[in-house]
A and B are shown apart, each in its own frame.
Chain A
Amino acid sequence: MAYQRITLTVNDLTETVDVPQNMTLLQMLRQKLSLTGTKNGCSAGECGACTVLMNGEPVNSCMVLAAECEGATIVTVEGLAKNGKLSKVQEAVAKAGGVQCGFCTPGMMISATALLERNPNPSDDEIRQAIVGNLCRCTGYFRIVNGIKEAAKM
C-alpha cells in the first residue's frame, strides 16, 4: 500500500498526515485525526452523514481521497462552535427540536452552515433542496428546516 504525506488545514489547525493512498477524507478525519464527529452512514456519497466543508464547499468526505487534500482547508462539525459557544445553526436547530438520534446532525450542521453562507435568507424550499443530500430517519425534517430558518433570522 502506497502512502502519501499531505499537509492541510482542519478546523484552523495545520495538520501533516501520512495517509494510505486509498484512504478517504472521511477515514482520515476519523482514524488519523480522531475527529469522530463526522459520521459514516453509507460510504457511497448518498446519505450525507459524512459532509464536511472542503475549501468552503460541502462535500461528502467519503467521496474524496485524503491524498487529494494537499493544501485544502477542511471544516468539520467540531469546527463550528467557537470557544464552546454554539454557532447560530447549531443553537437554532437544537432549540427547534431538529435533533433526535443525532447521527445525521453533524452533516446537517455543515450543509446548513454552507447554505446560509451562500444564501442568507433562504425559502423553505431552498432549505429543503440544500439538505436533500442529508438523510434523516428520525425527525421527518420539519424541525430541522424550521431550525435553519430560525438561524437565518438570528
Chain B
Amino acid sequence: MANAKSKEKPSSPIGASLQRNDVYEKVTGSAIYVDDLQFGNRLLYAHVLRSPHPHALIKSIDTSKAEKLPGVKVVVTGKDFPERMGLYLKDKTIFALDRVRFIGEPVAAVAAVSEEIAMKACDLIEVEYEILEAVFDAEYGASDKAPLIHPQLGEYYCPNYLFPKPGTNISNHFKIRRGNCEAAWKECAYIVERTFHIPHIQHVPIETHGAIALMDEKGKMTIWASSQSPFAQRNIIAQALHITQTDLRVIAPLVGGGFGSKAGVTMEAIPAALATKCKGWPVKLMLTREEEFFTNFVRQGLTTHVKVGCDKDGNILALKNVMYWDAGASTEYGANVVRAAGYSSSGPYDIPNIETDSICVYTNHPIGGAYRGFGMSELHTGIDQAIDELAEKAGFDKVTFLKKNAISEGDIIVTGMKMHANGIQECIDNVAKSIEFSKKEEPTSPDRVRGKGIAIMWKAPATSPNPGSSAWVELAEDGKVTVGLGGQELGQGTFTVMAQMAAAALGVKYEDVRIAGPIDTQYSPYEWQTVASRLTWSMGNAVRAAAADARRQILDVVAEAWKENPEDLDIVNGVVVSYKSEKETPLANLVIYGLPRENNGGWIGGPIVGRGSFMPQYITNLDLETGQGPRAVVHYTVGCEGLDIEIDKNTGKIHVVKAAASFDVGKAINPELVKGQIEGGFVQGLSSALFEEIRLRNGVMTNPSFVDYRIATAPDVNFPLDVPFVEVPQDDGPWGARGVGEHPMVPTIAALGNAIYNATGIRLDGPPYSAEKVYLAMYDAGLTK
C-alpha cells in the first residue's frame, strides 16, 4: 500500500532486473507459437513447388494433373497473382511470373487436405523451363558483361531514397563523397588496402517460418504468422492481393526467434494467396528447415574493397569503401541494407575524407533480406580489420589508435550529421581492461599460439524515414493495467520492458501490468516493424506517452473530485495519493466508473484510455551523389568487443580464452535482459565468425541442413564473457534508453580476425575462420608443420 503520509516512493521498475513476464508459459510448454494454433478439421496444408534452376524462363506450367488429385483443393501459379510487392523496392511477386531467378523460388503452390497429398500434387505439376545464363558473383553482376536479371527494373516502384540503375543489375548504388579523398591520400603517412569476402549466412531461428491464412466469404482475410512485422505484412499483402488494409487482419503469436528473417513479407503471402481461392478454409504453410535455409531470406554476401590511411600522428585521414553486395534474386528489402551500410560506412571513427560506393547487385542467389546488424557486421568486418592493420603499420598500440579516432559528440559524421553524446571511449576501456588487452599472455600449451583482438562498431536503426509507433493503456475494475502495442516479443524481452515502462510512467507495480497479446492488427495499435533495435526507444516512447496520458486523465478526475491541484497528486503502486491532503484512493475505484460528485451531483470521469504515438520527425533524405544530408538517422548505438584466443597449431581450431562486449545502451531498463541480449548476440556473431557459411555452387546451397550448416552449440561457448554496458543517455529515448538488439553481433568477426592476426600475423580474407582455413594459412606461412 502506498504511504502518502510518509511520502515514501517504492523503487522504480526502470533499471530493475525484473523477471520476464512470459517465462512461465515458455518453461512449461504452454506458450503458443504459430504451429501450435488449432484449426480443426477444415485446415488445409500447403506445399510449394520451387524452381530447380537459378535463372530460367518459364515456358509453360501444366497444373491439370495436380488439380485432379483427390484431396487437392487449390492449385495456384504466378499468373494468378501478378502484383509486384516489397517493403522498399517493389521487385518481388508471390510466385515467379515469366521467369525464375533463384533455386527455390516459388513457382506454384497447392492446398490440400494433408501435407503428403499437397506434396504429391506438386510433383504432378509440369513446368517447362528455358535455361538462362546465371549470375553468381556480385562484381560480375554489376558489370556490363552480365545478363540482366530484372530487365524491368526501371518500372518498379522505388522510394526516393534508393537509387536503382535500370538497364543493369544494380538496384541501389549509394554513394558517400565527403571531403576529398584524392588529396587526402597524399597526406597520409600510412595506407592499408584490403579486400574481404563475407559469405552469405542464414538467421537460423529455431522456429522456422510459418503462416495460416483464412479468407471469409465476404473477402476479409485473417493471417496468423510467426512475424516480426504484422502491420507491414498487412500493408504489403493487402496491396498484393487487392484487399483493403482494414479487411486484412494479421495475428502474430510469440515468435521462436526472428533475427530479421521474419520481417517484411516472405512466405506468408503464399498461404494468403491460396486462401483467396478457397474461402472459408484455412490454409497452413510451415517451412521445413531446409526451405528455411535458402528459399526465404538470407543475409547478403559481400565483397568489400577497403582503403584507409592516417597521418604520422595516427589520425585517420581518409577511407574508401567499394562494396559489392551479392543481394540475390530480389532486393525489395536488401536495397536498404546496402544504403544503411553506405551511410554508416565510416564505422564509429572520425574521418574527414570518405568515399564510399555501396552497390546492391542482383544475382541468381537466395534473397538477401534483413539480418541482425543490417549490413553493419559485413561493413565492420572490412573497416575494423583494415584499421587494425593501419594502427600496427603506423606503430600505434591498437587501443590508443581506436580511442584517438573514435567518434565524439559534436563531430560531423560521414553523412554530414552531428554526432550525439556516446560512450565509445568507455566501451573501449571496458573491453581493453576486461581481456587485459595490453598484456601479452603466453599460450596455455606449446601446441598453441595466443592472440587478442579488439574492434569497435556503431549502428543506427535502419528504417524508412517515417517509421511510427503507437500504444494505448487501459485499466480494468481491478485497477490493473493492459498495454496495447504493435511490437512483437521475439525473445528480446520487449513485452517485459514495455510493462516496466508503463508501470513506471503510470505509477503501478510491474506485476500489475499486462501486455495485450498476441499482437493483432485488428486491436493492437500500429507499429512499423519489430526490427532495427528500435522498439525500446520508439515503442518505449509511445508506451510511456500512453501511460502518461492515462495518468494525466486519472489525476485530472481525482483532482476534480477532491478539489485539489493535479500537481499535488501522484499514483504510487496503483493508489492515487495526495501529498497535500494525504487522501488516497486505489485506481480500481475510478478507472472504469469514474468518481461520484458530492451531493448526488453526478459523476466525474469514466473509462480511462491512454494513448501515445511516436514517430521521429527529423529524418531527412541524402544527396544522390554525395550521401550528405541534415539527419540521416535517429541516433547511433556504439560499442566494442574483444577476444583473447588460442589457436591449436595441430588443427587450426580456435579456442576463446575470454571475451568482453561493451555497448552504450543509453539506459538499461532491465539490466539482466540487456546483458542476455549482448551475450546471445555475441555468440551469434562468434558463430558467424567461426562456422557459418551458405555454401553456394552454381546457385545451389550445398549445405541446407544442420548437418553441414553448423552453428554454435553449448560446448563451443566454454569461456567467460564479460558484458559491462555503458549508459550515456539518449536525449529522446524513454529514460534515456537506446537499442542494443543487433549490435552485439556486429564487431565479432572483426575482433576475431584481429585476434587471429595478433596470434599469427595472418589476415584471412573473410569468415568463417574455420579450423581448416586457419591451419592451412599457418601451414603455408610456415608457422606450423
Contact = CB atoms under 8 A, between A and B. Distances in A.
Interface of A: 30, 34-44, 46-47, 49, 76-78, 80-81, 86, 90-91, 93-95, 97, 99-106, 109, 124-125, 127-129, 131-145
Nearest to B28: A81
Contact of A78 (B28, B206, B207): B28
A38 to B, nearest CB: 7
23 contacts: A30-B36, A41-B206, A44-B707, A47-B206, A77-B28, A78-B28, A81-B28, A90-B27, A94-B19, A97-B20, A99-B20, A101-B205, A102-B256, A103-B33, A103-B207, A103-B257, A128-B714, A128-B718, A137-B257, A138-B680, A140-B682, A142-B721, A144-B714
A136 B713 CA distance: 7
Interface stretch (B276-284, B363-371, B488-496, B553-561): B488-496
Contacts of A105: 26-27, 29
Contacts of B493: 100
Contacts of B676: 97, 100, 139, 143
Nearest to B707: A46
B490 A101 contact: yes
Most central of A104, A128, A141 by chain B CB within 10 Å: A141
Contacts of B721: 140, 142
A137 B259 contact: yes
Interface in B1-42: 19-20, 22-33, 35-36, 38
B621 to A, nearest CB: 35
Contacts of A36: 29, 32, 35-36
B192 interface: no
Contacts of A76: 29
A40 B35 contact: yes
B35 to A, nearest CB: 7
A77 B683 CA distance: 26
B665 to A, nearest CB: 16
Contact of B256 (A30, A86, A103, A127): A103
B613 to A, nearest CB: 28
Interface string B251-271: 000111101000000000000
- Interface size class of chain B, counting residues whose CB lies under 8 Å from the partner chain: 35 or more
B11 to A, nearest CB: 19
Contacts of B288: 43
B776 to A, nearest CB: 27
A101 B672 contact: no
Contacts of B26: 94, 99, 102, 105
Contacts of B683: 139-141
B418 interface: no
B204 interface: yes
Nearest to A91: B27
Contact of B207 (A41, A77, A94, A143): A41
B543 to A, nearest CB: 20
B70 interface: no
B205 to A, nearest CB: 6
A40 to B, nearest CB: 7
A109 B711 CA distance: 20
A38 B29 contact: yes
Nearest to A1: B116
A134 B706 CA distance: 12
B492 A94 contact: no
A34 B38 contact: yes
Interface string B517-543: 000000000000000000000000000
B717 interface: yes
Contact of A134 (B492, B672, B682, B714): B714
